[in-house]
């Protein structure tokens, strides 16, 4: 019998760029069959939609099926401790629970929930941990319009932070799998925000979004070195002989970000009585040459930049070096495409 072949594109629509990864599954094997990234001219709907169309037209993608994601203040994520109940009972009960945590009318929201596997409450316990996500319907509808205007078929809308651990799970399931044991903190430093997702033994137990990112690093260079934004952006990406000056300009902002993340780590470790064992970095901000070392200094924990393509097969037709150099910015897209196995 011939193995069934399926493809899915993970589409990460950020504030400064649109990134995409196509994963193709044949039998039990999964490989990267296309990828791409284009910058967004501005954050308005038309420019984002144009960037998505350009990326899909130029990237050599084989399918129009996509999994994409949302984030921001209009997305509410909570981990709830609830009395153990059936799935049907949970669907009915979650609306009442959501009223305690969602700061806008529930009739303007899309609400979803699921049990958290791997939490301490075993089947004999009277309680269970439930992950609840609520998103403003208007934000979801706008996101769908952006995707559909490019002629794409959205299969799932996920949340950025969860895509990080999905990418890790994909890597853990490969022949050269990553270690899923222990408590891992994923830190994705995007253009306008940083996503944190803490998992234990593969189960997500904590997420947070922090309003600091790569643009704040650029602003710091602008103010310290008294240059324009575009020049500061170029210096951030390639400081050349000015590496020390760029580092001195950015370090205070990295420390501010580190302080915010430390608050999250402290809360998690106190709440769950578990120590975070290591940190995996991703996002454009993590590409700074000194970023990993700065985080190891701040947190005194093993820290690495997450490259999922060291563990996932890559099609021979793809420029593997170019893919690897862009890996930190493609982790969210990879985690979204990893939903391939669940979507069917």
Residue 304 pairs in a beta bridge with: 280
pLDDT of residue 1: 44
Select from 1, 35, 29, 135 the least CA-distant residue to 336: 35
> Which pLDDT score is estimated for 120?
52
The reply to whether 5-72+139-176+307-343 and 179-306 are identical in fold is yes
Distance between CA atoms of 22 and 35, rounded to whole angstroms? 6
Architecture of domain 5-72+139-176+307-343: 2-Layer Sandwich (3.30)
Flag whether the pTM goes above 0.85.
yes
The pLDDT of residue 177 is 58
Nearest 5°: the CA angle 247, 209, 192 is 50
For 9, residues 6+ apart whose C-beta sits below 8 A from its C-beta are 20, 21, 22, 34, 56, 61, 63, 64, 65, 66, 67, 152, 337
Tell me the C-alpha distance between 98 and 274, whole Å.
27
Nearest to 172 by CA among 338, 2, 343: 338
Please identify which residue in the block is written with the tokens 């196509």: 22
Q: How is the chain split into domains, by residue range?
A: 5-72+139-176+307-343, 75-137, 179-306
DSSP state of 112: E
Per-residue pLDDT of the chain (344 residues; tens, 9 = 90+): 445 788 999 999 988 899 999 999 987 788 999 999 999 887 777 888 899 999 998 888 999 999 999 988 889 999 998 998 888 899 889 999 999 999 989 999 999 998 886 555 555 567 888 999 999 999 999 999 999 988 999 999 999 999 999 999 888 866 555 666 789 999 999 999 999 999 988 888 999 999 999 999 999 999 999 999 999 999 998 888 888 999 999 999 999 999 999 999 999 999 889 999 999 999 999 999 899 999 999 999 999 999 999 989 999 999 999 999 999 999 999 999 998 766 55
3-class DSSP assignment, residue 192? coil
Report the pLDDT value the prediction gives residue 342, as an integer from 0 to 100.
62
Q: Which alpha helices (DSSP H) does the chain contain, by range? A: 45-58, 87-98, 137-148, 160-172, 214-225, 229-237, 243-272, 291-299, 320-325, 331-337, 340-343
For domain 75-137, which CATH number applies: 3.40.50.920, 3.20.20.140, 3.40.640.10, 3.30.1490.300? Answer: 3.30.1490.300
pLDDT of residue 60: 87
Q: What is the DSSP string of 261-303?
A: HHHHHHHHHHHH-----EEEEESGGGGSTTHHHHHHHHH-S-E
User: Using the 8-state DSSP alphabet, how is residue 316 labeled?
Assistant: T
With respect to CATH, is domain 179-306 assigned 2.60.40.10?
Answer: no
């Amino acid at each position: 019998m011939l193995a069934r072949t399926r493809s899915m594109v993970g589409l990460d629509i950020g504030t400064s760029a649109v990134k995409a990864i196509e994963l193709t599954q044949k039998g039990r094997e999964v490989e990267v069959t296309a990828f791409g990234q284009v910058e967004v001219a501005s954050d308005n709907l038309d420019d984002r939609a144009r960037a998505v169309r350009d990326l899909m037209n130029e990237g050599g993608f084989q399918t129009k099926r996509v999994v994409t994601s949302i984030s921001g203040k209009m997305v509410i994520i909570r981990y709830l401790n609830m009395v153990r109940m059936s799935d049907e009972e949970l669907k009915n009960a979650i609306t009442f629970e959501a009223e305690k945590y969602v700061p806008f009318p529930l009739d303007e929201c899309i609400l979803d929930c699921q049990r958290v596997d791997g939490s301490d409450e075993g089947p004999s316990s009277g309680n269970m941990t439930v992950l609840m996500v609520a998103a403003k319907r208007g934000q979801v509808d706008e996101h769908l319009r952006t995707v559909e205007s490019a002629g794409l078929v959205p299969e799932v809308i996920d949340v950025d932070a969860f895509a990080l651990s999905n990418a890790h799970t994909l890597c853990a399931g490969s022949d050269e799998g990553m270690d899923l044991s222990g408590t891992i903190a994923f830190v994705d430093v995007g253009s306008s925000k940083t996503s944190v997702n803490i998992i234990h033994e593969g189960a997500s137990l904590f997420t947070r979004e922090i309003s600091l990112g790569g643009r704040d690093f650029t602003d710091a260079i602008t103010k310290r070195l008294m240059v324009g934004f575009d020049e500061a952006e170029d210096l951030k990406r390639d400081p050349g002989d000015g590496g020390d000056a760029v580092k001195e300009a950015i370090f205070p902002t990295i420390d501010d970000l580190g302080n915010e993340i430390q608050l999250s780590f402290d809360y998690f470790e106190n709440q769950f009585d578990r120590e975070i064992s290591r940190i995996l970095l991703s996002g454009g901000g993590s590409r700074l040459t000194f970023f990993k070392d700065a985080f190891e200094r701040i947190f005194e924990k093993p820290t690495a930049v997450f490259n999922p393509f060291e563990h996932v097969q890559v099609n021979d037709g793809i420029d593997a070096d170019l893919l690897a150099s862009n890996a930190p910015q493609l982790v969210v897209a990879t985690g979204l495409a990893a939903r391939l196995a669940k979507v069917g």
